[in-house]
Structure formats: C-alpha cells, structure tokens
Amino acid sequence: MGFRFAGLPGTVVQTPQEAVEALRFSVQRGDGVLLIPEPVAEGIREEIDAVRFGEALPLIVEVPGREGPRAEGPSLYRLIRDAVGIELK
C-alpha cells in the first residue's frame, strides 16, 4: 500500500495463491519491474524463480516488508548457480 502513496500502481494480495495469480498476470501484461515484499516472495519462491530464470521480463525485486529486512536473503552465488547450473569457486 505504501507504494500507492508514491504513485506506483500495484495489487494487494492476501494469500500465496493470490500472489501467484498476480505474478502470472503481471508477466502476461508485460510489466518491466515487479516489487514484491520479501514475506510474500518467500511464500511463492518456486514461481518467482521460474519467472526469474525463464523470462526476460519482468525484473523481480524483493523489498523488505513491514517487519524490515529479513536476516538472510538469496545470495548472488545461489542465484547464479540456479540460473546457469554451475558452481562458482
């Protein structure tokens, strides 16, 4: 809701299923960037990773939720490993 005050359109979801539906709709619509709160992203991680590694757009950015940033997020190492399937040393 805070992003709406800044003039950014968005969809408010209450359940992981609603989040998946909103994500799919956004991909179909061709949105360029998605800002997703970290707690929501954790609930739909598989779907987010499928979009990140299977589509050119949208760029998905996980932002802290109301609770603040989470202690540990996905590392760049893990994202690269998952995207290309190789281990970096």
The tens digit of pLDDT for each residue in 42-73 reads 999 999 999 988 888 888 888 887 777 666 66
- Examine residue 3 and state whether it is found in any structural domain, yes or no: no
Radius of gyration over every alpha carbon of the chain, rounded to an integer in angstroms: 14
Name the pTM for this structure: 0.67
Tell me the C-alpha distance between 65 and 39, whole Å.
6
- Examine residue 76 and state whether it is found in any structural domain, yes or no: yes
Residues above pLDDT 90, as percent of the chain: 29
pLDDT score, position 62: 84
Per-residue confidence band for 6, with pLDDT thresholds at 50, 70 and 90: confident
Number of structural domains found in the chain: 1
Per-residue confidence band for 37, with pLDDT thresholds at 50, 70 and 90: confident
- Examine residue 80 and state whether it is found in any structural domain, yes or no: yes
- Examine residue 50 and state whether it is found in any structural domain, yes or no: yes
The H or E element containing residue 87 is none
Strands (E), 1-89: 33-37, 59-63
The residue range of the domain holding 33 is: 13-84
- Examine residue 58 and state whether it is found in any structural domain, yes or no: yes
- Examine residue 34 and state whether it is found in any structural domain, yes or no: yes
